[in-house]
Amino acid sequence: MNNILKLENQVCFPVYAFSREVTNLYKPFLDKLNLTYPQYLVMLILWEEKQQTVNQLGEKLYLDSGTLTPLLKRMEHKGVLTRTRSRADERVVLIATTEIGEKMQEQAALIPEQLVAALGLSIDELQQLKKIVNKALLR
């Protein structure tokens, strides 16, 4: 067997496994907010930018509208965001946080520190990892 095809020689596998591990570490923190990890990512964007179109969210999260729309509908049902059609172009759907969604931000502010502790990596190591991953994503 060619060594290049061994799982232990693949870059993709540790990246995939680490991604799953990080997502799993978020779960107990996000359960307290009644959010899934993808929903948390949506909220992070909305807390920063207050209002986004579905397309803008999709671009930032690398998700297509077919994946994002059901996610946003569930979040709207939870009362954390609203979906409204743009008056200028009714094909455009605007997403914004509700008062309930805004109040979650205070509780969510504890999550990054809790996650760092759960990972057992230093801030410097995490910043280095983030830099490398972003370099690969933004090539």
Domains and CATH numbers, the chain: 36-110 (1.10.10.10)
Nearest CA to 111 out of 33, 14, 20, 15 is that of 33
**Per-residue pLDDT at 89:** 87
Rounded to whole angstroms, the Cα distance separating 30 from 68 reads: 19
Average of pLDDT values for 42-59? 94
- Answer whether residue 79 shows pLDDT above 90: yes
Please say whether the beta carbons of 57 and 42 come within 8 A: yes
DSSP track, 25-80? HHHHHHHTTT--HHHHHHHHHHHHHSEEEHHHHHHHHT--HHHHHHHHHHHHHHTS
Please say whether the beta carbons of 54 and 69 come within 8 A: yes
Q: Give, in degrees to the nearest 5, the angle at Cα 30 between 93 and 47.
A: 40
Mean pLDDT of the chain: 92
**Per-residue pLDDT at 139:** 73
- Answer whether residue 27 shows pLDDT above 80: yes
**Per-residue pLDDT at 1:** 61
Q: Note the pTM of the prediction, 2 decimals.
A: 0.88
Which two structure tokens, joined as six digits, stand for 108?
Answer: 């969510």
- Answer whether residue 76 shows pLDDT above 90: yes
Please say whether the beta carbons of 94 and 53 come within 8 A: yes
**Per-residue pLDDT at 58:** 95
- Answer whether residue 39 shows pLDDT above 70: yes
- Answer whether residue 8 shows pLDDT above 90: no
